[in-house]
Structure 1
C-alpha cells in the first residue's frame, strides 16, 4: 500500500513535522499539540547580517484545571543569556532554559515556597490558585517566582550547582524587576494584586539573600557571630524598606485589591492584628519597657516620638498575634496526634504576623533607622528577638542574632539595659 501523503506546512511546529501531520501553525501552541497535550515547539529562522540564526520557541501545553474544559498554553520567554554557557548562541540556550524554568517552577511549588514560611498563599488553596494564575499572566511575577526557587536551590548541592543557581537567581530577578518597572510605567491599576504578590515575594527574596549561608564559605561549621556585622544591619534596613513597598502598592491599588480574591486574606490579617488591641497586658510584658523609649533622650522632636510610639504599638500587635498563632498551631498539632484523620486548616492557612511588621512601619521610623537613632535601633532589636525562633526557616536564618549583637555593640553600655530581653533571647540558643 502506498504511503499516505500529507500537505506540508512550511512553518509548522517540530512535533507535527516529526509525526508527518499537517500543522495549522496556530501559536503559541497548534491545535494538534493542544489536543495531544504535548509541548509545542516552533523553529523560526531569523536572518542576520552574515549568517542565519535558528531560534526555538517552546510552548508547554498543560492539562486544564477542573474549572476549564479545554487545555491552556503558557509561554515564558527566557532571557537571551544562558548562565550555564554565557557565550553560546540562542539556538542552544532556549531549550535548556525552558526545561530549567519548569524545574524551578516545580521547586518553588514543592520546596522553596512551603519551606519559606510564606504559608498563606502556599497552603490556602484559593489564594494559592490566585497566586499561580497571576504568575502566568504577569511576567514579572513569574520571573520572581523562578528567581526565588533558584535562590533556594543555591543553598544545596555541589559548589558548581550552587554557583549556577545563584547566578540564575540574580539573572531572573533582574528580568523580574525590569518587567515590573515596565508594568508600573503602564500604570495599570488592574494589576494591583499581581504587584502586591510580587512585592511580597521580592521582600522575602531580599531577606533570604542577605542571610544566605554562602556569604561565609571558608568553613562548613561557620560561626554565625562572624556574620553579625554592621554591614548586615545596613542590609536588613534595606530589606525592611523593600518590604514597606508592599504597603505602598496596597495603598495605590487598594480599590482593586480590596475587592479581589485577596479580600478574605486581608480580613483575616486585620482580625489577627486586632486581637492585640484588647489583649491582656501580660501577654507582651517583655515589650512594656519600650514605652519609655520616646522619652529616653531629649533630642527627638514630636514627629520622631510619634513614629517611635507607632512602631512600638505595631510591635505589640504582631507579638500578641504571634502568641495566638503559636497557641493555635500547638492545639492543632495535638488534635492531629489524637485524630490523624482530622483536618484543621484554619490555623495553618495563616502565616505568622511577625513578617508583616516591616510593612507597618512609617516613613518617619524608617528615617530614624537610617540615621541609626538609638531608640529606633532598640525597637528593631526587640523585633529581631521575636524573629529569632524562626531561625530554621531558610529565608530568616540567624537574622535575629545577626541583628541584636551589632545593635548592642553600636549602642554601647549606656543603652545595654534596654537590650536585656533581646540579648537573653538570642543568647539562649547556642
Structure 2
C-alpha cells in the first residue's frame, strides 16, 4: 500500500496546496513562494490582499519588468532545519553564548579559526588545493558584506556540531542563531543583483544551500518517508532559488574572480552522460502509465544529471568533481520533478533511490554519512515488494559498499 496516514498542515497557502508541497505557513508570503517567484495567497485573504514574493500586496505593486525582487529575497526567520532538542537546552546555557548583536566575541573567533584550518567543510564539489585562495577571497568579501560572514560562521558551527557530538547542542544553537542573523542582514541589504554585490550574493546563497542540504540529510524523523520528503522538497525549492540567482547574475559573475570556478562547474554539469547505470530507471519512466510527457521529460533530465554524477564517482575523479552532483542534483532538479516527488509518485521514488546510491558512494563526506542507506530503506519500506525489481541496482550497489 503506497498511501499512509499522516497529519496534514491545513494552514498552508493556496499555491503550495495546488502544487502539493509542504508550506511553512509564513505570512504574508510563505518561503517556497518567495523562492519560486510565485504569487502567494491564503484562503482567508480577500483578492485585494494577494501578496507577491516581494512581500507587497498586489494592489501596491507597480514594478517594471526589470525591477524584480525575485532573484534573492529570503523571507524566513531561520533557514536551517536543525535545532537542539528541548532536553538539550540546559547544556547550551552552561556555555558562553553572547547575544548576536555583539560585534565580535570569542565564540565567533573559534568559528573563524575553524574555517581557516578545516579543508573539508565544502568537500562536496570543492578541490582542497584551491582552499587557501578561495577562503582568502571569501573572507575579504565577507568583511564587506556582513550577511556573507554570518552565513560562513553559521556553516562553521554546523561542521563543528558534527565533529564534536558531545557539544552538538551548543554548536547547533550557534549555527541556527548565526544563520537567522545572516538571512535577516541579507533581506535588509537586498536591492537587487549588480556588479558590486553579485559575488557576495552567490556566496551567501551557495553556503546557505550547503547548510540546508547537510541539515536535511541528517534528519531522522519518526514519520519515515513522509517526513523526509517534506524536508527534502523544501530543500529543493531553496536550492532552485540559488540556481535562479546564479543564472540571472551569470554575465556579471563571469567578469569576477569566480569565473574560473564557475566555468569548471558549468562544464561539469553540462557533460554528456557516458555510463548506463540509470538504464533501468529510464525504462521505468518511459513506460510509466498516466505520466504526462512533460513530467517524463523532467524525470529524464534528472536521470541525465544523475548519470553524470555516477560517471564522476565511479571514475574516481579528483575531489573537486567526484561528489559535486550530490549537491548540484538537488539544485538542478526541474520543478515538475519536485512536484512528482512531493506527491510520492512511485517511479519518482525509485529515481530518488538511485540518488540515495549516489549519496552512499559519498558516505565519507561529513554532510552525507549514512543518509544514502537510510533514504533507500525508507523508500523500500514505503513502496513494498512489488517494486523490488526496479530497486535492484541501487540495492546491489549499497550492499556491495557496506563498510
TM-score (ref. length: structure 1): 0.64
Per-residue deviation, residues 391-422 of structure 1 (Å, max 9, x unmatched): 12111111111211111222222322111111
C-alpha contact 1:322 1:353 (8 A) present in aligned 2: no
SS at match of 1:386: helix
Matches of residues 376-415 of structure 1 in structure 2 within 5 Å?
376-415=348-387
The equivalent of 1:241 in structure 2 is 237
C-alpha contact 2:285 2:347 (8 A) present in aligned 1: yes
**Mapped partners of 1:154, 1:87: distance in 2:** 16
The equivalent of 2:192 in structure 1 is 187
**Mapped partners of 2:134, 2:288: distance in 1:** 46
Cα separation, partners in 2 of 1:362 and 1:104, compared to 1, 3 Å: same
Higher-RCO chain (CA-CA 8 Å, sequence separation at least 6): 2
Match among 123, 144, 155 for residue 162 of structure 2: 155
**Mapped partners of 2:270, 2:184: distance in 1:** 37
1:361 counterpart = 2:357 = no
C-alpha contact 1:139 1:179 (8 A) present in aligned 2: yes
SS at match of 2:276: helix
Query: Which entry has the higher C-alpha Rg, 1 or 2?
Result: 1
C-alpha contact 1:116 1:395 (8 A) present in aligned 2: no
**Mapped partners of 2:218, 2:330: distance in 1:** 20
For this pair of structures, how many residues does the alignment match?
A: 308
**Mapped partners of 1:89, 1:407: distance in 2:** 43
Per-residue deviation, residues 224-246 of structure 1 (Å, max 9, x unmatched): xx896542333233223322222
Of Structure 1 and Structure 2, which has the larger fraction of its residues in strand?
A: 1
Cα separation, partners in 2 of 1:88 and 1:388, compared to 1, 3 Å: closer
Per-residue deviation, residues 263-320 of structure 1 (Å, max 9, x unmatched): 111222233345435x3xxxx3221112212233321112111111111122122322
Matches of residues 154-303 of structure 1 in structure 2 within 5 Å?
154-157=161-164, 159=166, 161-184=167-190, 186-190=191-195, 191-212=197-218, 229-277=225-273, 279=274, 284-303=275-294
TM-score (ref. length: structure 2): 0.68
The equivalent of 2:345 in structure 1 is 373
Cα separation, partners in 2 of 1:369 and 1:255, compared to 1, 3 Å: same
Per-residue deviation, residues 55-85 of structure 1 (Å, max 9, x unmatched): xxxxxxxxxxxxxxxxxxxxxxxxxxxx758
Cα separation, partners in 2 of 1:360 and 1:212, compared to 1, 3 Å: closer
**1:247: Cα distance to partner?**
0.9
SS at match of 2:263: helix
C-alpha contact 2:124 2:365 (8 A) present in aligned 1: no
The equivalent of 2:112 in structure 1 is 105
**Mapped partners of 2:238, 2:266: distance in 1:** 21
1:305 counterpart = 2:296 = yes
**Mind listing any 5+ residue stretches in structure 2 that lack a counterpart?**
1-91
C-alpha contact 1:275 1:320 (8 A) present in aligned 2: no
The equivalent of 2:311 in structure 1 is 320
Cα separation, partners in 2 of 1:286 and 1:99, compared to 1, 3 Å: same
**Mapped partners of 2:180, 2:375: distance in 1:** 27
**1:105: Cα distance to partner?**
0.9
